[in-house]
Amino acid sequence: MDVMGDKATLLETGRFAQPADFVVPADLVVPASASSVESVRAAEEDETGDAVEEARQRLAAESGDAEAMSVLGAMLLRRGDLDGAEPYLRGATAAGDRAAANNLGVLLHQRGYADEAASWWRIAAVAGSAAAAHALGRHHRERGDEPAAEYWLRQSAEQGHALGAYALADLLEHRSDAAAERWMRVAAERGHREAAYRLARALDRIAEQEERASVREGRRIARAAFEIGSASREAAREGRPVVREGRGAAVRAGEPGADSVVGAAAEEAEQWYRQAAARGHRRAALHLGAILERRGELKEAGRWYLTSAKDGEPRAACALGFLLRDAGDTESAAVWWLRAAQDGDGNAANALGALHAERGETQTAERWYRAAMDAGDINGAYNLGLLCAEQGRTAQAEQWYRRAAYAGHREAANALAILLLQVGDASGAEPWFSKAAEAGSVDAAFNLGILFAGRGDDATALVWYERAAAAGHTEAALQVAIARLRDGDERAAERHLRCAAGGGSAEAAYRLAAVLDARRPPAPAHELGEPVREKNECEEWYERAASQGHRRAQVRVGMLAAGRGDVVEAARWYRVAAESGSRNGAFNLGLLLAREGSEPEAAVWWARAADAGHGRAALRLALVYARRGELVEGKRWADRAVALGPVEVAERAARLRDALRDELSA
Decide: 649 and 641 in contact? Cβ < 8 Å: yes
Q: What is the pLDDT of residue 1?
A: 26
pLDDT in tens, 505-521: 999 999 999 999 888 76
Cα(199)–Cα(205) distance, integer angstroms: 10
Of the candidates 629, 627, 626, 628, the residue with the CA atom closest to the CA atom of residue 639: 626
pLDDT in tens, 160-198: 999 999 999 999 999 899 899 999 999 999 999 999 999
Segment 490-503 shows an average pLDDT of: 93
Question: CB 655: neighbour CB atoms within 10 A?
Answer: 12
Q: What is the pLDDT of residue 233?
A: 33
Of the candidates 83, 105, 78, 109, the residue with the CA atom closest to the CA atom of residue 93: 105
Residue 247: pLDDT band with limits 50, 70, 90: very low
The yes-or-no verdict on residue 281 having pLDDT over 60 is: yes
| Model confidence, pTM | 0.67
The yes-or-no verdict on residue 545 having pLDDT over 70 is: yes
Specify the amino acid at residue 242: V
Q: What is the pLDDT of residue 241?
A: 34
Residue 564: pLDDT band with limits 50, 70, 90: confident
Length, in residues, of the chain: 666
Decide: 450 and 439 in contact? Cβ < 8 Å: no
Cα(451)–Cα(474) distance, integer angstroms: 17
Segment 406-424 shows an average pLDDT of: 93
Q: What is the pLDDT of residue 546?
A: 93
Q: What is the pLDDT of residue 563?
A: 85
Cα(27)–Cα(39) distance, integer angstroms: 15
Q: What is the pLDDT of residue 434?
A: 94
Segment 302-309 shows an average pLDDT of: 96
- Residue with the larger pLDDT of the pair 654 and 522: 654
Of the candidates 408, 407, 409, 444, the residue with the CA atom closest to the CA atom of residue 429: 444
Share of the chain above pLDDT 70, in %: 83
Segment 515-540 shows an average pLDDT of: 67
Q: What is the pLDDT of residue 53?
A: 87
Cα(28)–Cα(6) distance, integer angstroms: 22
The yes-or-no verdict on residue 578 having pLDDT over 90 is: yes
pLDDT in tens, 130-153: 999 999 999 999 999 999 999 999
Residue 449: pLDDT band with limits 50, 70, 90: very high
For the packed helices 82-94 and 98-110, what is the interaxial angle rounded to 10 degrees?
150
Residue 220: pLDDT band with limits 50, 70, 90: low
Q: What is the pLDDT of residue 215?
A: 65
Q: What is the pLDDT of residue 221?
A: 53
Residue 264: pLDDT band with limits 50, 70, 90: confident
Segment 34-49 shows an average pLDDT of: 45
Q: Supply the mean pLDDT for the chain.
A: 83
Q: Is the peptide bond before 87 cis (omega within 30 degrees of 0)?
A: no
